[in-house]
Amino acid sequence: MELKASKDIEVRFSEVDMMKVAWHGSYPLYLEDAREAFGEKYGLTYQGYLDNRFFAPIVDLEIKYRQPLRHGHKARVDIVYRPTEAAKIIFDYEIHDLETGKLCSTARTIQVFMDMDYQLVLTNPSFFEEWKKKWQQ
C-alpha cells in the first residue's frame, strides 16, 4: 500500500525573488508543509518523534526545478513515503501547478533518527517499527 498525502500552497510575495519567481530556498518550506500534512494523516508527526524521545533530522535534500512557480501561483505538493529496511524515512515529492497541472518540481528528502543525546540511531526505533507494521510498510 502506497502512503501519500497532498498539501495545497499559494506562493506568497515573501517567497519570491526579484523576478517574482519562487526563491529556491522557499521549496524546503513547501516540502515541510507536505511532511506535516502526511504526518497528520498517518500519525507520523514531529511531536510523535519527540514523545518517543527521538529527533528525525533531514540529512539529504534533493530538489529538481522544472517549471517556475510565481507569486500568486497555487500549487499542490504531493508526498509519497518510500519504505526501506534502513533506519531512515524517505519521501518523494512532486509539486504541480493547480491551474495547468504542469509538474513544476520534484524532490526527495531522507531523514535519520537521533536520540536525545544527538547520537545517530542505526536501527529503527520501536515506535517506528510499530508504525510501519500498522501501515504494512
For residue 129, CA distances in Å to 69, 84, 97, 124, 137 come to 37, 11, 35, 6, 9
Contact (Cβ atoms closer than 8 angstroms) between residue 91 and residue 79: yes
Which residue type does 111 have?
Q
Contact (Cβ atoms closer than 8 angstroms) between residue 105 and residue 94: yes
99: Cβ contacts below 8 Å, ≥ 6 apart: 73, 74
* pLDDT given at position 125: 98
pTM exceeds cut of 0.85: yes
Question: Which stretches of the chain score pLDDT less than 70?
Answer: none
* pLDDT given at position 18: 92
